[in-house]
Copies of this chain bind each other. A is one copy, B any other.
Amino acid sequence: MTGAGEFDLIARYFAPLAARDANSFGLTDDAAIIPPEAGHELVVTADMAVAGRHFFTDDPPDAIAQKLLRVNLSDLAAKGARPHGYILTIALPRPVSEAWVAAFAQGLADDQARFDIGLLGGDTVSTDGPICLSLTAMGWVPAGRMLRRNGAQAGDLVFVSGTLGDAALGLKLRQGKVAPDLSEAEAGHLRARYLLPRPRTAFGPRLIAHATAAIDISDGLAADLGHICRQSQCGAEIALNALPLSDAARAMRHKATADWSDIIAGGDDYELAFTVPPEAEGKVISIAKEVGVTISQIGIITEVKSLRFLDGDGAELPLSSTGFQHF
């Protein structure tokens, strides 16, 4: 971009994103306000993404923006929080491509409408290195009700939303690491799941009254369920047969171009893993139906403090396949 500095970029592309919330002052001030919401607490979460590490430099800019926002929305969903607003800081190499910034901002605009969240403020700077993005998202939960990782109890049922492993397999396709015999639709599904998570923003807040623990799966089911087990001082037994797979992932499993470690240790799923006492099972299933999210019961919380993945014969998957360090 020729001659357009930080102020021009902000005014042209980012200020419109702040128009949803008058308390952003249209980014004309150095700060935004968050007025309190009666009976609620603010939940805050943040993620950083660096080009070449967390996304491909040539990914579509709108998808880069949306993934960063959605990764944070997924964290809010796992906490049972309703999105409020976000702060975005961006380091861009010079010269800045105005087309890139325009597409990046358009991606945010689309997702702001989709997820009912608005830009509150941020910072735009130069870098001699790769693009570096940081997003802090804020949402509301009823006071004292945030879903945590530490409430799971022996006997609770373990559920996950959606399907697992798609994003990790999509990344492998993107990297050219596998050339599986998939239909265009199947390959497209996996690639899209890597590029753009679907945060469970409608579902998460409805779990508050029923789930004992929740997490969003960003590092793979094994690692993230491991967090729940460690912090809840319990373990879990997971049935590999029960793991929900997309048709594309199932096809790759079938042709042995995907193994269990892709499914449970690949990461980037941004599905919810959560635990539910048996008596709340029916309620949770009906909420999922109501909000249009598929959920699957994949196992049970145990008193024994180990996380085990069992095949149909009851044989345990070797730990090396789980990408998970025992605790």
Give the B-binding residues of A (Cβ under 8 A): 25, 28-37, 40-50, 52-54, 75-76, 78-79, 81, 87, 89-91, 120-130, 132, 134, 136, 138, 141, 143, 146, 148-149, 215-216, 231
Contacts and interface: CB of A to CB of B under 8 A. Distances in A.
Nearest to A129: B129
A44 B32 CA distance: 5
A33 B142 CA distance: 11
A49 B30 CA distance: 16
A4 to B, nearest CB: 13
Nearest to A224: B30
Contact of A30 (B28, B45, B53, B121): B45
Given A30-B78, A31-B76, A46-B136, 15 more contacts: A28-B231, A30-B45, A30-B215, A31-B43, A33-B146, A34-B41, A36-B37, A45-B121, A47-B123, A48-B124, A53-B126, A53-B128, A127-B130, A128-B129, A136-B136
Contacts of A132: 48, 50, 91, 127, 129, 132, 134
A30 B139 CA distance: 13
Contacts of A52: 128
Contacts of A127: 50, 53, 129-130, 132
Contacts of A141: 33
Number of copies: 2
Nearest to A124: B48
A324 to B, nearest CB: 12
Nearest to A34: B42
A46 B129 contact: no
A31 B34 CA distance: 17
A222 to B, nearest CB: 14
Given A50-B91, A50-B127, A127-B130, A31 B79 contact: yes
Contacts of A35: 41-42, 143
26 contacts: A29-B231, A30-B215, A30-B216, A31-B44, A31-B76, A31-B79, A31-B81, A32-B43, A34-B43, A35-B41, A36-B36, A36-B41, A44-B87, A45-B121, A46-B89, A46-B123, A48-B124, A48-B132, A49-B125, A50-B126, A52-B128, A53-B128, A54-B125, A127-B130, A127-B132, A134-B134
Nearest to A81: B31
A5 to B, nearest CB: 10
Given A49-B125, A128-B53, A134-B134, A34 B44 contact: yes
A91 B48 contact: yes
Contact of A46 (B45, B49, B122): B122
Interface centre among A40, A53, A121, A127 (most CB of B within 10 A): A127
A89 B146 contact: no
B46 A87 contact: yes
Contacts of A136: 46, 87, 89, 136
